[in-house]
Structure 1
């Protein structure tokens, strides 16, 4: 069960709370590219709200995580890339996605997302 009607609604909320201290790694993150280095933690949050599977693919920058929800691919952090992502839909796990981030960053982003929902009145 989720407070968000669609993954797009979740994306809109996440894009307001992503920051350098929730990115993995933090280096290279900027407000001009807020999705950068948030794929692992975001894939966990998408799964928390919509279920589905976590998938991964290799990009020129390394492993990239995204989701498959109800038979549709959802990559809420694809905007970080300047070139097309070569989606190969390799199954991943929560443990793999969490290894791309940290428990602390996951908890912080989850907390900020909840605060965002509370302030916007959608909680």
Structure 2
């Protein structure tokens, strides 16, 4: 799966059910923890984090390449610190219902794009 395809599917899958901060103007807002978990499920790799003024920001590192599918939520560019993290820390940024909803919608939307 190409990262551009996954980015489109994620954007289509995000909603108020996957983050209480979601808005149609900024669909990636509040989605970093839950998105890093689902991407980790689909593509493996590791979960990393960077400290920002609003708190920790989570993203993925796959084959030594950074994948931050939610960076569009920020107006300024991110100065990545690439601090190793894990699923447990990323889950502190979300909850099981949001995670389950995003994973279900991503898998459904991926199937839709390939059929």
* TM-score w.r.t. length of structure 2: 0.93
Deviation of 1:111 after TM superposition, in Å, equals 0.9
Q: Residue 15 in 1 paired to residue 11 in 2?
A: yes
Q: Residue 80 in 1 paired to residue 80 in 2?
A: no
Equivalent in 98, 102, 105 of residue 105 of structure 1: 98
Please give the alpha-carbon distance, in whole angstroms, between the structure 1 residues aligned to 2:45 and 2:112: 28
Contact between 1:51 and 1:69, CA under 8 Å: does it hold in 2? yes
How many residues align? The count is 115
Matches within 5 A, 1:1-123: 5-23=1-19, 26=20, 28-120=21-113, 122=114
Query: What CA RMSD, in Å, does the superposition of the two structures yield over aligned residues?
Result: 1.2
Q: Secondary structure at the match of 1:82?
A: coil
Contact between 2:32 and 2:58, CA under 8 Å: does it hold in 1? yes
Please give the alpha-carbon distance, in whole angstroms, between the structure 1 residues aligned to 2:22 and 2:102: 15
Deviation of 1:7 after TM superposition, in Å, equals 2.3
Please give the alpha-carbon distance, in whole angstroms, between the structure 2 residues aligned to 1:49 and 1:119: 16
Please give the alpha-carbon distance, in whole angstroms, between the structure 2 residues aligned to 1:41 and 1:11: 14
